[in-house]
């Protein structure tokens, strides 16, 4: 022990005995993750890829069926419906969350000491368990007696049947999702507070108005956070499950009723195929399709971001 410690610092290129010893220890520290990666990530990925080419009901051994699952997947109207609903939800949810959060963060930045209080208010809904959020909004969105339609009634609007009219189920879900945007607000607020003030002063000297300052100073300097929340929120909304499952699925009364199709989300449908109908092969194919969709969307977003995101000096 003593000899190795007193040995001169290892050169970065040469593999000294110390460096080899360090490397052994390093892998020992990494071992839990490596094991977990192999057993719970890489292994299952390969397994689900293979299962997606089989018919498997857990009881009987998997039976190879080639591309059948994928062919079925493409032709299945329920898969198409749930994917359509999920994409519809994502395209509404993500831009709305980003716009409203940015608005709130801009306000928060300007109120000084009250900031902490309001930040807490906007974050508390995020702490609410998703099942409770689903239950709460099931009642808030109630057609006759719900708080939301009551409020709309106050301004003379006859509120729609959010939870029973197939055309209004998804907008109702989007509305619910906006209640939990608090973490995006906090991310934007942190980004806004890192914008150096001298840039605003320089913009003032150049005679920039409020909009010009926002457009040419604020937006470029927080574009990294905007981009990050775009990707994270998109990936999360494509996997929406708990709130909607709570509201519209899981018991005999709601399953099969008119609104359960209108509220079908991709991961909910996948879960039902896998664990209710035991179509493990088909569900695995669905999972891989989702993975590919998420990858493609993320790659497109990263490509776009290279054009719009401004990185200041170092890599962020």
Q: What φ, ψ does residue 170 adopt, rounded to 5°?
A: -65, -45
Closest CB to other proteins among residues 184, 264: 184
Please say which residue, 75 or 113, places its beta carbon nearer to other proteins: 113
Contact 159, 147 (CB under 8 A): no
Among residues 167, 149, 147, 169, the alpha carbon closest in space to that of 157 is found at 149
Task: Answer yes or no: are the C-beta atoms of 56 and 63 closer than 8 Å.
Answer: yes
Report the half-sphere exposure of 165 (CA within 13 A, side-chain side). Answer: 12
Cα–Cα distance measured from residue 135 to residue 133, given in angstroms and rounded to the nearest whole number: 5
The stretch near other proteins (CB under 8 A) out of 2-10, 85-93, 167-175, 211-219 is: 2-10
Q: Which is nearer to other proteins, 90 or 233 (CB)?
A: 233
Report the nearest approach of other proteins to the CB of residue 64 (Å). 17
CB 224, CB 315: distance < 8 Å: no
From residue 77 to residue 116, what is the string marking binding to other proteins with x (rule CB under 8 A)?
Answer: ---------------------------x--xxxxxxxxx-
Candidates 81, 119, 213, 216; binder of other proteins (CB under 8 A) is 119
Tokens 């300052």 — which residue?
A: 213
Nearer to other proteins, 77 or 251 (CB): 251
- Decide if 230 contacts 216 (C-beta within 8 A): no
Binder among 250, 259, 261, 297 for other proteins (CB under 8 A): 250
Q: Do the beta carbons of residue 73 and residue 289 sit within 8 Å?
A: yes
Query: What is the distance between the alpha carbons of residues 61 and 82, in angstroms, rounded to a whole number?
Result: 29
Footprint (CB under 8 A) of other proteins, residues 64-83:
none
Neighbours of 174 (CB within 10 A): 17
Count of positions on this chain that bind other proteins (CB under 8 A): 122
In the complex, minimum distance from the CB of residue 270 to other proteins, in angstroms, rounded to a whole number: 6
Grouping H, G, I as helix, E, B as strand and the rest as coil, residue 11 is coil
The verdict on 209 binding other proteins (CB under 8 A) reads: no
- Give me the least distance between CB of 29 and other proteins, in Å please: 3
Residues 119, 251: contact at Cβ < 8 Å?
no
Return the residue of 125, 159, 171, 220 that touches other proteins, per CB under 8 A: 125
Q: Judged by CB, which is closer to other proteins: 161, or 233?
A: 233
* Tokens, residue 255: 């399953």
Q: Which residue from 70, 88, 179, 214 is in contact with other proteins, where contact means CB under 8 A?
A: 179
Distance separating alpha carbons of residues 239 and 218, to the nearest angstrom: 31
Subset of 24-63 contacting other proteins (CB under 8 A): 25-30, 32-37, 39-41, 43-45, 47-48, 51, 58
Beta bridge partners of 63: 55
CB of 44 to other proteins, least distance (A): 4
Residue from the set 16, 65, 143, 183 that interacts with other proteins by CB under 8 A: 183
Contact status: 17 vs other proteins (CB under 8 A): no
- When binding is defined by CB under 8 A, the residue of 128, 202, 304, 310 that contacts other proteins is 128
In the complex, what is the shortest distance from the CB of residue 81 to other proteins, in angstroms, rounded to a whole number?
18
Q: Give the residue among 241, 230, 231 at the shortest CA–CA distance from 82.
A: 241
> Is 295 among the residues that bind other proteins (CB under 8 A)?
yes
């Amino acid at each position: 022990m003593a000899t190795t410690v007193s040995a001169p610092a290892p050169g970065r290129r040469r593999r000294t005995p110390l460096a080899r010893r360090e490397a052994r220890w390093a892998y020992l520290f990494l071992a839990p993750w490596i094991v977990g990666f192999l057993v719970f990530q890489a292994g299952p990925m390969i397994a689900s890829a293979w299962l997606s080419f089989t018919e498997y009901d857990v009881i009987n051994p998997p039976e190879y069926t080639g591309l059948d699952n994928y062919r079925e997947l493409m032709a299945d109207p329920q898969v198409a419906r749930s994917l359509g609903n999920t994409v519809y939800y994502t395209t509404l949810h993500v831009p709305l969350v980003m716009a409203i959060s940015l608005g709130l963060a801009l306000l928060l930045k300007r109120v000084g000491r009250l900031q902490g209080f309001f930040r807490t208010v906007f974050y508390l809904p995020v702490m609410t368990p998703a099942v409770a959020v689903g239950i709460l909004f099931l009642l808030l969105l109630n057609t006759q007696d719900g708080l939301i339609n009551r409020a709309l009634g106050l301004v003379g609007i006859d509120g729609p049947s959010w939870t029973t009219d197939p055309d209004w189920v998804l907008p109702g879900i989007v509305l619910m999702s906006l209640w939990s945007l608090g973490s995006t607000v906090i991310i934007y607020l942190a980004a806004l507070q890192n914008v150096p003030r001298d840039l605003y002063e320089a913009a003032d000297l150049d005679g920039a108005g409020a909009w010009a300052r926002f457009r040419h100073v604020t937006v470029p300097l927080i574009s990294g956070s905007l981009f990050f929340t775009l990707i994270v929120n998109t990936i999360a909304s494509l996997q929406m499950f708990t709130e909607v499952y709570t509201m519209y699925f899981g018991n005999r009364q709601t399953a099969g009723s008119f609104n359960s199709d209108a509220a079908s989300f991709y991961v909910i449908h996948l879960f039902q195929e896998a664990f209710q109908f035991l179509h493990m092969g088909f569900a695995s194919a669905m999972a891989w399709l989702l993975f590919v969709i998420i990858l493609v969307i993320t790659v497109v977003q990263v490509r776009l971001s290279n054009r719009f995101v401004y990185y200041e000096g170092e890599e962020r």
